[in-house]
């Protein structure tokens, strides 16, 4: 693929943007810390300097214990959502699918609500429940779709819808029967936010997101062949069922891990790969996967920065991504150039 000069500039900018935004994000927060002080704190930390500290100890805690883990979680989240979205869109041959199509989001939401309603209010238990039920939902979808050893795309989509609505119904039951103050907890969990992130959560989601994303990144060329019809992919020598299960499993792993700590953040997995496809007029997953990862990380981090600093109180970032994502998607649909997908 030959790119024009401005497109090339955009490409390099997108790859570089996460670093840039991560750097600026450290300066942004509820509590105002002068930029110079932030810089001095970071430099003294990196080089383990112990000059006479002219700043309160709280500043260090805010930067290294509150802002930094949150920034890293947003970066990981952006990568997880956009890489899993792009991969699923390839194997489902459908630009409108996301992990919700496999029932993962609905399963995780139910899991979290169940934990909260059972008064397992420790955040770690809520996360474990959300993660396990996300995986259970995907497993159910896959088994339901599997008929006579054969898994077809259309059955997967239908099974996903059925499993999702089952878990949503169970979620409604929980909302209906629990005490009102827990309903608020559940709703808050569902909205999707990074405000509860500490290093503990970051360390918890880092390994699964890294492993899942590396699998999908490693398969980026294979995804091109997997986006052909099943029969065609088979005649190209691919064990379609096995490799598709690996893609679905990896995508489920990364998204369930993310959802388990920060709730449901919509639209990133849909918008980012789609924008990349349209911007670079390509369907080659060797480009789409890494570019989506970089762009997703930047956009989600940017969104989280806005969520935590725009208003005097914090807006859940999930609301923000949906609020911006849906109209933007509408705009893309109206404007899309012919042929990128149809």
Q: Which residue number, 199 or 221, has a Cβ lying nearer to other proteins? A: 221
Judged by CB under 8 A, which stretch of 10-18, 148-156, 239-247, 328-336 contacts other proteins?
Answer: 239-247
Q: Does 8 bind other proteins (CB under 8 A)?
A: no
Q: Using CB atoms within 10 A of its CB, is residue 125 exposed (0-12), middle (13-18) or buried (19+)?
A: middle
Q: What b-and-e string marks burial along 88-108, b requiring 16 or more CB atoms within 10 Å of the CB?
A: bbbbbeebebbbbbbbbbbbb
Q: Does 164 bind other proteins (CB under 8 A)?
A: no
Question: 3-state class of 280 per DSSP?
Answer: coil
Q: Does 225 bind other proteins (CB under 8 A)?
A: yes
Q: Does 332 bind other proteins (CB under 8 A)?
A: no
Smallest distance, Å, CB 144 to other proteins? Answer: 24
Q: How far apart are CA 58 and CA 90, in angstroms?
A: 47
Q: How far apart are CA 339 and CA 318, in angstroms?
A: 31
Q: How far apart are CA 16 and CA 31, in angstroms?
A: 28
Smallest distance, Å, CB 277 to other proteins? Answer: 8
Q: Does 227 bind other proteins (CB under 8 A)?
A: yes
Residue with tokens 């379609």: 240
Work out which of 128, 243, 245, 336 binds other proteins, going by CB under 8 A: 243
Q: Which residue number, 42 or 210, has a Cβ lying nearer to other proteins? A: 210
**Which neighbouring-strand residues pair with 147?**
150
Scanning residues 254 to 283, which ones bind other proteins (CB under 8 A)? 277, 281-283
Q: How far apart are CA 39 and CA 340, in angstroms?
A: 44
How many residues make contact with other proteins (CB under 8 A)? 36
Helix (H) or strand (E) holding 149: none
Binding site for other proteins (CB under 8 A): 1-2, 90, 93-95, 218-222, 224-225, 227-229, 231-232, 234-239, 243, 246, 277, 281-284, 286, 339-342
């Amino acid at each position: 693929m030959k790119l024009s000069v401005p497109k090339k500039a955009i490409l390099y900018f997108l790859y570089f943007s996460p670093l840039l935004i991560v750097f600026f994000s450290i300066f942004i927060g509820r509590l105002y810390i002068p930029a110079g002080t932030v810089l001095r704190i970071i430099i003294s930390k990196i080089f383990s300097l112990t000059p006479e500290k002219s700043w309160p100890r709280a500043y260090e805690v805010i930067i290294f214990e509150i802002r930094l883990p949150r920034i890293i979680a947003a970066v990981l989240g952006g990568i997880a959502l956009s890489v899993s979205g792009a991969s699923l869109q390839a194997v489902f041959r459908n630009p409108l699918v996301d992990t919700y199509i496999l029932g993962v989001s609905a399963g995780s939401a139910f899991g979290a609500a169940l934990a909260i309603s059972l008064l397992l209010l420790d955040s770690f238990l809520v996360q474990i429940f959300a993660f396990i039920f996300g995986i259970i939902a995907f497993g159910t979808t896959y088994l339901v779709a599997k008929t006579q050893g054969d898994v077809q795309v259309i059955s997967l989509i239908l099974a996903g819808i059925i499993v999702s609505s089952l878990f949503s119904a169970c979620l409604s039951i929980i909302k209906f029967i629990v005490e009102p103050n827990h309903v608020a907890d559940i709703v808050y969990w569902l909205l999707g936010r990074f405000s509860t992130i500490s290093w503990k959560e970051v360390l918890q989601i880092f390994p699964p997101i890294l492993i899942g994303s590396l699998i999908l990144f490693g398969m980026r060329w294979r995804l091109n062949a997997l986006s052909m019809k099943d029969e065609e992919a088979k005649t190209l020598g691919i064990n379609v069922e096995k490799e598709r299960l690996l893609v679905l499993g990896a995508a489920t792993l990364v998204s369930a891990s993310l959802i388990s700590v920060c709730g449901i953040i919509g639209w990133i997995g849909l918008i980012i790969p789609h924008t990349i496809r349209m911007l670079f007029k390509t369907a080659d997953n060797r480009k789409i996967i890494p570019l989506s990862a970089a762009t997703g990380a930047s956009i989600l981090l940017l969104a989280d920065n806005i969520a935590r600093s725009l208003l005097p109180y914090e807006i859940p970032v999930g609301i923000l991504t949906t609020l911006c994502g849906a109209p933007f998607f509408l705009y893309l649909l109206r404007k899309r150039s012919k042929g990128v997908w149809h």
